[in-house]
Amino acid sequence: MKLPKVYEPSLYEADIYALWEKSQAFLPRKTGKSYSVVVPPPNANGNLHLGHAITLGLQDIAVRYHRARGERALLLPGADHAGFETQAVYENFLAKEGKSRFDFTREELYSNIWDFVAQNRDNYQGQFRRLGASVDWSRHSFTLDEKIVKRAYATFRKMWDEGLIYRGERLVNYCTFHRTGFADIEVIYKEAKTPLYYMKYGPFTLATTRPETKFGDTAVAVHPDDERYQKYVGQVVEVEGVNGPFTVQVVADEMVDPNFGTGVVKITPAHSFDDWEVAQRHNLPAKRIINHDGTLNHLTGRFEGMTVLEARRAVVAALKEKDLLIKVDENYQNRMGHCYKCDTIIEPMLMEQWFVDMQPLAKPAIAALQAGKIAFYPESKKTQLITYLKNLRDWNISRQIAWGIPIPAYQNVDDTDDWIYNADDLTQEIIEKDGKTYRRDPDVFDTWFSSSSWPYATLNYPDDADYKDFYPLSLMETGFDILFPWVSRMLMLGLYVTNDAPFKAVYLHGLILDEHGQKMSKSKGNVVNPMDIIDEYGSDALRMGIITGMSAGNNQPFGVPKVISARNFANKLWNIARYIESVIPRAPQGEIIPRTDADHWILSRLDTTVTTIADCLDAYHFSEAYETLYHFVWDDFADWYLEAAKAEENLPLLALLLQSILKIAHPFAPFVTETIWQTLNWAPDTLLAITAWPEDLPEYDKKRVSSFTELKIIVTEIRAIAKAVGIQKMEASYAQSPLIADNQTLIKRLARLGALTEVTEGQGVQLTQTKEHVWLTIDYSAARHYTDTLAGEAASEKAAIERLEARLNNKNYTEHAPKAIVAESQAQLQAAQDHLQAIEQEIARFQTS
């Protein structure tokens, strides 16, 4: 036998993937309807986690299914340079060597990180393969590939020309550790207790959490309707400070909550988002007092050089000394922004950056969503996306890091307001144009700016055949956590650049939690590495285990028991093939026609299963599709059909059934099914991966399907009675039953009967679940347990009959409900009555004997 007893995935998976690759199985067909998916690019420097496993798993199921349907299916792989993310990793690496990024020029740093990433590049590609992703490697893209960079520049240019890009001095979320600005969406807000200091401030007392910023104050604000302070509004007041007296203007602004603190707020426009807004409204100057490294500058006098926190302590001490500190509220809860990478408190910093005017981009996106142009799984995420887009503010796309795509803009050294677009030779730091000297913007794009064009940039927009063939994408599958940062931007830029929404459907999976529903994190030590799971249980088991009981948008705990169950299922497929191989050693021959009742029944079940799985996958109900497959293969085929077929074999049909099972199981368990296909080698030099979905299955006879259903009922009841009375190898008899007469061998085998004989009048216990006349030879004293069971069944049937009668006596029901439903109820009532009658007869027989 070619197939060993237990399926050992690690012995086959690598070879099978290599075979697919060598055979170019994943190149799209030249013809057929297009089905295209682009993989959300993982960080080129990192390892894949379970989130990637689910994305690749779901996409691969969809793509393999559509490939089998004869479509021109493409799964395009790629990787992300992941600008700031990767640079942060590299900085940690440098720190271990006692170095910092500030020891290098931008060019050196870029080239070092390039090498650093290149070293790890095989990593994720190997992991794609281990996950069985049927990607077309010839179309692999990296976010720093020339075509992606050029696309980012072209988009920037278009926005520049159309006035959507502007350079502005604005408050920016700034991390003083990483020394770069962030988009709003990259900031993590956390609740924390921060002391609220009440201090004397000229004629006022005011409350602040940030006394150290008072050197940057240019005003003090009160609510316009606050009678306490009316007389000061519009005046300039003198304030005694720790560095001596200074003056500020008093302004009235709605922003102030008269009930908070003392109803007076000091205004520091350069270091607070609220204050900046106030300053804009009242035309107040902004005074920067914090350096990019997080220390205070020369405007703070003796506090210069201190970090913000050091300065806070020092200023508070100084205030105390000068008797300016009134009190401190230690219980104040405050929300503060943190760097999502290093947790440093985000410092609002006044900086010149490139911004994208978002509302002109958001509006078409909202319209497309509202018009229902994109299907969302789950649907509710669409509503959330619309809400997000409606409130979207301008996007800061400048990052002060080296690892990224340089912004193609140059500034006139003599006129800071004169910027020109130039993407021709960005290696030049200085260029001359029209007799003027320009210096390159040292910043790079936010990674999301370039990755937003991923769907069409990877397909070589605008002229390439790929773009024409595969855009828009059929499906975008990713985690719901990047709905806002990525999906929203792909949608907006896709519409802006190509005039077409970039995908037809968006499927969002939830977070993968640990077995106890806890978030996975390095600090908790509960992170599961998908590669470890593959090592232990196999790639197919990981894939099927992860989609078991999964639904779109909901978080899901990762459970090893589900993986084990899936591993067992893979083994089941293996052993089904092993058995069939033992009866069909070589390529099968002969006419495929159903002969037995079991043959007709299994063909009917296969027909339903193939259709159900297709419907589920068309609707992206992955979990339901898998469950349908699982129960068909295990319950129907292995437990019933194979056992029945042992009584009477139909080898050509058996072979067809195995082949059909391998085909429909392949998207869910690509490795084990292909391994079986190759090992059996019934169709030499073919790949299951590019073999067609089952079609044109043999016809079956519905009457004979019902016959087998009846046989199943009989067998099951005999087994149950045998169990209830604790007797094995019982003897049975039957009367006036062609069905049983024709299937004696089968029944004896499946019900494990010692004998089955035809009689005119039977003795012992009569079956109640079937209309066929069947008796089990048991003396009544041995069957006492069984009478209890019957009594219980009688009670539940009576209840069912009452319920059904009540329903059918209700005229509203019979008149309003669809006829088919009413007919069904009537049939159910009839069946219940028949069954009850049979049970009662049996009970009566026990009582009289």
The footprint of RNA on residues 567-606 (CB under 7 A) is 567-568, 570-572, 575-576, 578-579, 582
Q: Kindly state the smallest distance separating residue 821's Cβ from RNA, in Å.
A: 5
Distance CA 200, CA 645 (A): 93
Distance CA 731, CA 509 (A): 55
Segment interacting with RNA, rule: CB under 7 A, options 96-104, 362-370, 376-384, 655-663: 376-384
726 Ramachandran zone, left/alpha/beta (phi>0; psi -120 to 50): left
Q: Tell me which residues in 813-842 interact with RNA (CB under 7 A).
A: 813, 816-818, 821, 824, 828, 831-832
Q: Kindly state the smallest distance separating residue 642's Cβ from RNA, in Å.
A: 4
Nearer to RNA, 29 or 803 (CB): 803
**Residue 102 sits in the site that holds RNA (CB under 7 A):** no
**Residue 125 sits in the site that holds RNA (CB under 7 A):** no
Segment interacting with RNA, rule: CB under 7 A, options 23-31, 141-149, 316-324, 564-572: 564-572
Max CA pair span of the chain? 119
Q: Tell me which residues in 241-300 interact with RNA (CB under 7 A).
A: 255-261, 263, 265-266, 272-274, 277
Of the candidate residues 105, 380, 529, 608, the single one contacting RNA (CB under 7 A)? 380
Helix (H, G, I), strand (E, B) or coil at 736: coil
Q: Kindly state the smallest distance separating residue 260's Cβ from RNA, in Å.
A: 2
**Residue 387 sits in the site that holds RNA (CB under 7 A):** yes
Q: Tell me which residues in 477-496 interact with RNA (CB under 7 A).
A: 484
273's enclosing H/E stretch is helix 273-282
Site string for RNA, 697-736 (x = CB under 7 A): -------------------x--xx--xx---x--------
Q: Considering only CA atoms, which of 497, 504, 507, 377 is closest in space to residue 449?
A: 497
Nearer to RNA, 413 or 619 (CB): 619
Distance CA 15, CA 23 (A): 12
Q: Tell me which residues in 126-155 interact with RNA (CB under 7 A).
A: none
Q: Kindly state the smallest distance separating residue 126's Cβ from RNA, in Å.
A: 24
Nearer to RNA, 193 or 320 (CB): 193
Of the candidate residues 91, 466, 624, 674, the single one contacting RNA (CB under 7 A)? 624
**Residue 621 sits in the site that holds RNA (CB under 7 A):** yes
Q: Kindly state the smallest distance separating residue 432's Cβ from RNA, in Å.
A: 42
Strands (E), 490-540: 505-509, 512-513
Distance CA 394, CA 157 (A): 17
Q: Considering only CA atoms, which of 420, 376, 434, 533 is closest in space to residue 57?
A: 533
Distance CA 554, CA 154 (A): 38
Residue reference for tokens 């005017």: 357
Q: Tell me which residues in 524-553 interact with RNA (CB under 7 A).
A: 548-551
In whole angstroms, how far apart are CA 138 and each of 76, 451, 474, 697?
9, 20, 20, 36
Site string for RNA, 772-801 (x = CB under 7 A): ------------------------x---x-
Of the candidate residues 34, 45, 208, 478, the single one contacting RNA (CB under 7 A)? 208
Q: Tell me which residues in 296-355 interact with RNA (CB under 7 A).
A: 334-336
Segment interacting with RNA, rule: CB under 7 A, options 132-140, 375-383, 455-463, 522-530: 375-383
CB 563 within 8 Å of CB 542: yes
Q: Kindly state the smallest distance separating residue 98's Cβ from RNA, in Å.
A: 35
H-assigned helices in 217-267: none
Tell me, rounded to whole angstroms, the distance of Cα 659 from its chain centroid. Answer: 32
- Residue 599: both structure tokens together: 């043959």
Q: Kindly state the smallest distance separating residue 48's Cβ from RNA, in Å.
A: 22
Nearer to RNA, 87 or 262 (CB): 262
Of the candidate residues 554, 611, 745, 837, the single one contacting RNA (CB under 7 A)? 554
CB 352 within 8 Å of CB 189: no
Q: Tell me which residues in 425-464 interact with RNA (CB under 7 A).
A: none
What Rg value do the Cα atoms of the chain yield, rounded? 37
Distance CA 640, CA 633 (A): 10
- Number of chain residues interacting with RNA (CB under 7 A): 94
Go through the chain and tell me how many residues it has. Answer: 849
Q: Kindly state the smallest distance separating residue 381's Cβ from RNA, in Å.
A: 7
Which amino acid, 733? S
Nearer to RNA, 412 or 551 (CB): 551
Q: Considering only CA atoms, which of 744, 773, 748, 772 is closest in space to residue 760?
A: 773
**Residue 394 sits in the site that holds RNA (CB under 7 A):** no
Q: Tell me which residues in 671-690 interact with RNA (CB under 7 A).
A: none
Nearer to RNA, 449 or 630 (CB): 630
In terms of C-beta density within 10 A (0-12 exposed, 13-18 middle, 19 or more buried), how is residue 69 classed?
middle
Distance CA 10, CA 274 (A): 59
Q: How many other C-beta atoms lie within 10 A of the C-beta of residue 684?
A: 7
**Residue 195 sits in the site that holds RNA (CB under 7 A):** no
Q: Kindly state the smallest distance separating residue 806's Cβ from RNA, in Å.
A: 10
Distance CA 91, CA 101 (A): 6
Distance CA 135, CA 689 (A): 12
Q: Tell me which residues in 163-192 interact with RNA (CB under 7 A).
A: 184-185, 189
Q: Considering only CA atoms, which of 156, 147, 835 is closest in space to residue 460?
A: 147
**Residue 639 sits in the site that holds RNA (CB under 7 A):** yes
Segment interacting with RNA, rule: CB under 7 A, options 108-116, 138-146, 563-571, 648-656: 563-571
Nearer to RNA, 112 or 575 (CB): 575
**Residue 619 sits in the site that holds RNA (CB under 7 A):** yes
Q: Kindly state the smallest distance separating residue 249's Cβ from RNA, in Å.
A: 16
Nearer to RNA, 73 or 528 (CB): 528
Q: Kindly state the smallest distance separating residue 445's Cβ from RNA, in Å.
A: 20
Of the candidate residues 56, 172, 349, 642, the single one contacting RNA (CB under 7 A)? 642
H-assigned helices in 426-487: 447-451, 454-457, 465-470
Nearer to RNA, 20 or 182 (CB): 182
**Residue 210 sits in the site that holds RNA (CB under 7 A):** yes
Distance CA 501, CA 473 (A): 9
Distance CA 772, CA 710 (A): 9
Q: What does DSSP say about strands 409-412 and 436-440: parallel, antiparallel, or unpaired?
A: antiparallel
Q: Kindly state the smallest distance separating residue 336's Cβ from RNA, in Å.
A: 7
**Residue 666 sits in the site that holds RNA (CB under 7 A):** no
Which amino acid, 154? A
Helix (H, G, I), strand (E, B) or coil at 190: strand
Segment interacting with RNA, rule: CB under 7 A, options 38-46, 312-320, 470-478, 635-643: 635-643
The counts of H helices and E strands in the chain are 28, 32
**Residue 214 sits in the site that holds RNA (CB under 7 A):** no
Nearer to RNA, 336 or 423 (CB): 336
**Residue 7 sits in the site that holds RNA (CB under 7 A):** yes
